[in-house]
Amino acid sequence: MKILIIGSGAREHAIIRALHRSPQQPLIYCIGSSVNAGIKELTEDYLAGDITDCGQVAHQAHEWAIDLCIIGPEAPLEMGLADALWQIGIATIGPKKSLARIETSKEFARNLMQKYNIPGLPVYKTFNSMTGIESFLDSLNNNYVIKANGLMGGKGVKLFGEHLHSKEEALFFCEEILAKKQSILIEEKLEGQEFSFMCFADGVRLFPMPLVQDHKRAFAGDEGPNTGGMGSYSDANHSLPFLSKNEVQTALAINNAVYHALTLECQDKYIGFLYGSFIATAEGVYVIEFNARMGDPEALNVLSILESDFVTLCAAMVTGRLDLTDIHFANKATVCKYAVPEGYPDKPLNNFEIDIRPVTNLDNLYLGAVNQLNNRMVATGSRTAAYVGIANTIYQAEVLAEDEISRVGGSLYHRKDIGTAALIEQRISHMQRLKAQ
| pLDDT tens, residue by residue, 319-355 | 999 999 999 999 999 999 999 999 999 999 999 999 9
Residues of the chain with CATH 3.40.50.20: 2-96
Q: What pLDDT is stored for residue 156 in this prediction? A: 84
Return d(Cα 89, Cα 86) in angstroms, integer.
5
Return d(Cα 415, Cα 121) in angstroms, integer.
32
Residues of the chain with CATH 3.30.1490.20: 123-188
Q: How confident is the model at residue 372 (pLDDT cuts 50, 70, 90)?
A: confident
Q: How confident is the model at residue 222 (pLDDT cuts 50, 70, 90)?
A: very high
Q: Which fold has domain 2-96?
A: Rossmann fold (3.40.50)
Q: Is the pTM of this model over 0.85?
A: yes
Q: Which of 186, 187, 251, 193 is nearest to 222 (CA)?
A: 193
pLDDT at 234 over 90: yes
Query: pLDDT tens for residues 176-215?
Result: 999 999 999 999 999 999 999 999 999 999 999 999 999 9
pLDDT average, residue stretch 37-66: 98
Return d(Cα 17, Cα 365) in angstroms, integer.
11
Q: Which CATH architecture has domain 193-423?
A: 2-Layer Sandwich (3.30)
The per-residue pLDDT of the chain, averaged, comes to 97
Return the CATH number of the domain spanning residue range 123-188. 3.30.1490.20
Query: pLDDT tens for residues 136-171?
Result: 999 999 899 999 998 776 678 899 998 899 999 999
pLDDT at 51 over 70: yes
Return d(Cα 287, Cα 119) in angstroms, integer.
9
